[in-house]
Structure 1
Amino acid sequence: MGFRNLQTFLFFLLLMLLGLSAPLSAAEGKRLALVVGNSAYTATTPLANAAADARAFAAFLKENGFEVDSLINVDRAGFARGLSTFSKKIGPADTALFYFAGHGMQLKGENFLLGLDAELLSEFDVDAEAIALNSITGIMERKASLSLLFVDACRNNPIADRLNASVEGVTRGAALKWGWRR
C-alpha cells in the first residue's frame, strides 16, 4: 500500500474513531501523539522510508488537531526519554496515539521496538537495547481515555535473524492483544 493510500485510510479511520468533524471542547481532553521514525540504524540495515513516513504522519496529525511530539532517528535512550515525556502529558480524558516506523522484533511472544543503536547479540541484550511494546501500551491504557497504536515495524530484520540462530522463540511477526477498553 503506497503512502498516499495509507494516509487516506488512516484519515478515515481517525475520522471515524475520533469524530474529527465535531469541535473539541476542553472537557473532552487533549489529542496527544508520539510519532517515532527511525531510518538511520547503525547496528543493522538502515531503512529508506521510516523517518519520512513518520514526518508525514506527524504533519497529518497536526493538521487534524493533535498535539504531536516527534522523535526522528532516535537511539534507545532518547526513545525512552521521549516516552517518559509523552506519558507525563496524558490525562484521563485524553486521546493518546503512538506511531512507530522502524525496526521491531518479537522474542518469546513479546514485541520490541528498536532505537538506532540497538545491538542485540543475545536474548540477554533485549531489555537493555530495545523498548518493550507492552510498556507503551500499558502506559497509554492506564492513563488515556482512548489509546491508538500504529506500528509499522520492518519485518526484514537482520537482528531478529541473528538472534533466531541462537535463541528459541524469536520471530518477525507481532503478538498483539486485541480488545475493547471501557
Structure 2
Amino acid sequence: MGKVKKGLALVLANALYQTQPVLLSCNKDGLDMKAKLEQLDFDVLHYANTTRVATLEAIAEFIKLADLYSVLLVYYAGHGVQIDGKNYIVPIDCIYKPIKDVFISSSLVDVSTITNYMSMHEEKTNILIMDACRNSLSFLRSFGSTGLAEMTAGNGMIIAFATSPNTSALGSESPDGNGCYTKRLLEHIDHPNMKVEDMFKLVRKDVIKDTAGQQVPWENTSLNGNFYFCTMAQDEINEVIYQSIRNYHCAEMLINLSKRFGYTVSDVMRIYERQKSEKVGGIRIVDEKEFESYILKQILDLGFEFINYRWVYRKTPVLMGDFQHDYTKAL
C-alpha cells in the first residue's frame, strides 16, 4: 500500500497572456510552488498558461479527485479581476468584450467554482491562495476596480491573498524570479510545527517589509482545527541542520536555516556542532565557555560581523542571538 499523502493541491499559473500583459514571474511561481508542495508530501496537479476551457477542466479534475483527500489546496498565480464584488481568474485567452455578462461567461473563470466545493466540505482543511492581484489588465477601467474583492472563508476554509482587498500586488520583472508574495510564501511554508495562520503572518510581515508597506497580504479564515504544512521532531530538525551545513558550510546556509526553523544563527551553529560531535570521530567540547568561544570563532570565520552593537552579514542585519560571555571583547 502506498504512503498516504498529506493532501491534494491544484497549482494554476498563467504568464503568457495572448491579449493582456504577460506576467513574467508566474511560470516560475507555479513550478516552484509545485516542487515545494511535493516536498511537503502533497499530490499536485500543475497547469501552466491555461485557456478558459483548460482552466475549467483542471478545476473539474481537481474536484473529481478531492473526495479522496482530507486536505485541499488551490494556488493561483496570474491575472485576476473583480466584477460586481465577485472574483475571477483571467485565463490566457481572455478577450475583453464590452457586454459584461458575455465577457464573464466567455472569457473568465469564477473563483466560486473552487470555493463552492470547499464550502460544501467543511470536514476537510480547505486552503485557497491567490497571488492574482495585478493592476496591469487593459480592461480594469471598465469596471472601476483594482485587485480582488474581499471573500469570506466558508467553514473549514482559509483564503489567502497576496495583498489586501482592492489593492494590487507586485510581481517580478524577470522570468527567473518569483513574485514578491510567492517568494516569501516559498520561504515560510515549510517552517516546521507552525500553524498555517502563523505561517501566513510571517509571510505578511516580510512582504510588508519588502514593499515598504505598499503590499499587505491578507487572509480570511474559518478553519475548524490546527493545520501544519510541516511537522518535525526535534531530532529530525537537528539532523536537517547538520546535513545542510555539512554539505554547504557557509553563512548563507546558516541564515536560511535560521529563517526556516525560527532559531537564531548562533543556535543553528550550536546544533550543528553538537550534532557533529556525536558522529563517529567527533569531539565534544564539555566546558560551556570554551564551547561558546569556539562557536563565536566559527561565526566570525564565516564572515559575520558585530558592528555598532548589531550583528550583520554583508551589511544586512541577522538574528544572531546572545553568546554566553562578553563576545565584544573578542572582537
TM interval, short-chain normalised: 0.7 to 0.9
Gapped runs of 5+ residues in structure 1? 1-24
- Structure 1: which 4+ aligned runs deviate by more than 6 Å? none
Corresponding letter in the other structure for 2:104: V
- 1:62 and 1:68 in contact (8 A); partners too: yes
Corresponding letter in the other structure for 1:175: E
Structure 2 counterpart of 1:180: 222
The structure 2 residue matched to 1:43, chosen from 19, 26, 30, is 19
Matches within 5 A, 1:40-119: 40-91=16-67, 94-119=70-95
Percent identical = 26
Query: What CA deviation, in whole Å up to 9, does each residue of 1:32-90 have, x standing for no partner?
Result: 00000000000110111011101100100001100000001111110100100110001
C-alpha separation between the residues in 1 aligned to 2:139 and 2:221? 28
Corresponding letter in the other structure for 1:114: V
C-alpha separation between the residues in 2 aligned to 1:73 and 1:93? 26
Q: CA deviation at 1:181?
A: 4.8
Distance of aligned partners of 1:181 and 1:138 in 2 relative to their CA distance in 1, 3 Å threshold: farther
C-alpha separation between the residues in 2 aligned to 1:93 and 1:68? 12
Q: CA deviation at 1:170?
A: 4.2
Structure 2 counterpart of 1:5: none
Matches within 5 A, 1:118-129: 118-122=94-98, 123-124=100-101, 125-129=103-107
RMSD, aligned CA: 2.0
Higher Cα Rg: structure 1 or 2? 2
Aligned residues: 152
C-alpha separation between the residues in 2 aligned to 1:79 and 1:70? 11
Q: CA deviation at 1:120?
A: 1.9
Gapped runs of 5+ residues in structure 2? 153-219, 225-331
C-alpha separation between the residues in 2 aligned to 1:80 and 1:140? 16
C-alpha separation between the residues in 1 aligned to 2:10 and 2:69? 17
Q: CA deviation at 1:91?
A: 1.4
Query: What CA deviation, in whole Å up to 9, does each residue of 1:89-148 have, x standing for no partner?
Result: 011752110000000000000000011001122212112211111221111232461100
TM-score by length of 1: 0.76
Structure 1 counterpart of 2:189: none
Structure 2 counterpart of 1:153: 132
Corresponding letter in the other structure for 1:131: V
Structure 1 counterpart of 2:10: 34
- 2:6 and 2:40 in contact (8 A); partners too: no
